[in-house]
Amino acid sequence: MQPLPQLESCLRLAFDARDPLHPSGISLSSWFVRAPTRGRRRGELDATLLFPPELRARLGPDAGPAIALAMDPGSWRSCPSPRATIPLATREWLAEAAVALGRSEGFELTWAMLRAISELESTAQRLLGSRTPRSTLRQVLHGVAQRTLRAEPFAAFVIRVLKIAQAAYAAFRHSGRPHDAAWALVQDRLWLPYPTGRSGRSGAQARGAYLPSLLQAAAANARKRLKRNAAEHRTKDHARALLARFASGPGARAWPWIDGSGRLFPQGEDALSPEMAGLCFFALLAHAASERRSRGGPAGGLSAPLDEAGFGSSEWLPDRTDDLAIRLLSASAASGLPRGEMLEAISTLVRATLAGMPAPEGASALRRLGIQLGEDDTAKMLERARARLPELARWLEENGRELLERT
């Protein structure tokens, strides 16, 4: 059994913050709500699996009411206005949710929760073994592939463990147990045999401990996904090959932002680099995903270049589009950390082109980014960009499909 003192502290703080209307305390997971992805729903806790007969017996005669209270969402103090849910939970999203938790419930609880998450991540690494690739570990913890540039998805597995521990802890406290006894029972719950188990070769039930079983199952799925991505040519090397193919081929001809002498903006050079192609594709795909979400899907209408290129089709669901955008971004720079100023510049150019930004406003925005163009030159550049952007969008849509995950 692995020691988890940070999780213990976090659970106690959340429960001790209860009030007469919310006897179970603070529901930490309500500040970190995640949306379903690709039509799948995230399953809630099942009381029959969380509290097997042997655990109910240890709760005593008050087991029924205590479990019912702990499993009742109304007994928890939840986030009054949770952030808009998104399919891919990023580190920035986590930070904003953590700040919101601190403002509402106190930053002592915020830091305790973050320390507990770090502790669970370290525990997962030890349980999976030091030889487990970091990419596999991230898929286990986060449920999605490896990310960079502050876009590493938040730990879906860790949140699941946190919800299980909180519900069990609250039930034990409602049954009259003091903190020390309740925490000991929570640890037992995390290391009891996994409730569903599985049959061994002899036909007998082969049950591993609950927490390691969850982790091992997630690890197996992550390894399968990594192998499938390699077999279907969706690795970082394949993403880099796509960027290199565009930069060395149609890139210079299709690049939307050029001046009168043919220089490519925002880098101001004559040749297009794979890094700049990756930044452009990221900004364009992120904008396409944002439009589909904010406008209620393709029926709400997309910008003309994106609509004509085919980004309204069912294959370009927002979460898949975001997934590809981030993978192309992480593949665009050898260090895995693209230049922030260039990303800001290319994002501004994409928005200015698609939104029809007036020349004075566009020139001002570009000057803030170090691109010195007058209003007339900016107007001409954006006019050329609007004529050339559809070709780039079509190339990205046609060639990016090979990297899309379809499952």
Q: Where are the domains of the chain?
A: 5-195+208-231, 236-403
Query: For residues 39 and 45, what is the distance between their CA atoms, to the nearest angstrom?
Result: 19
pLDDT digits (tens, 9 = 90+) for 6-28: 999 999 999 999 999 999 999 99
| Of residues 344 and 227, more confidently modeled | 344
The CA-based dihedral angle spanning residues 271, 323, 315, 244, taken in that order and rounded to the nearest 10 degrees: 20
Structure tokens at 110: 């915020």
What interhelical angle do 156-174 and 63-71 show, nearest 10?
Answer: 140
Range picked from 142-156, 187-201, 234-248, 355-369 for highest mean pLDDT = 234-248
Which residue, among 340, 327, 344, 341, has the nearest Cα to 403 in the 3D structure? 327
Which residue, among 311, 302, 393, has the nearest Cα to 355 in the 3D structure? 302
Q: Where are the alpha helices (DSSP H) in 143-249?
A: 156-174, 179-191, 210-231, 236-248
What interhelical angle do 5-16 and 179-191 show, nearest 10?
Answer: 130
Q: Which helix (H) or strand (E) holds 25?
A: strand 25-26
Query: For residues 162 and 28, what is the distance between their CA atoms, to the nearest angstrom?
Result: 8
- Note the pTM of the prediction, 2 decimals: 0.56
Query: For residues 244 and 272, what is the distance between their CA atoms, to the nearest angstrom?
Result: 10
pLDDT score of 347 more than 60: yes
Q: How many CB atoms lie within 10 A of CB 41?
A: 8
pLDDT score of 398 more than 70: yes
Structure tokens at 198: 């599985």
Which DSSP symbol is given to 77?
A: E
Strands (E), 53-124: 76-77
- Residue 265 binned pLDDT confidence (cut-offs 50, 70, 90): confident
pLDDT score of 140 more than 90: no
Structure tokens at 242: 């796509």
Distances (CA, A) of 148 to 167, 302, 326, 336: 33, 28, 8, 7
pLDDT score of 146 more than 80: no
Range picked from 174-178, 278-282, 317-321 for highest mean pLDDT = 174-178
For the segment 376-393, the average pLDDT, to the nearest whole number, is 84
pLDDT score of 51 more than 70: yes
Burial state string for 332-343 with b = 16 or more CB within 10 A and e = fewer than 16: bbeeeebeeebb
- Residue 50 binned pLDDT confidence (cut-offs 50, 70, 90): confident
Q: What percent of the chain has pLDDT over 90?
A: 20
pLDDT digits (tens, 9 = 90+) for 150-187: 334 455 677 778 888 999 999 999 999 999 999 998 88
Average pLDDT, the chain: 77
- Residue 343 binned pLDDT confidence (cut-offs 50, 70, 90): confident
CB under 8 Å to 170, separation ≥6 — which residues? 15, 24, 25, 69, 70, 75
Q: Which helix (H) or strand (E) holds 322?
A: helix 318-332
- Backbone dihedral angles phi then psi of residue 8, each to the nearest 5 degrees: -60, -45
For the segment 301-309, the average pLDDT, to the nearest whole number, is 88
For the segment 92-102, the average pLDDT, to the nearest whole number, is 79
CB under 8 Å to 387, separation ≥6 — which residues? none
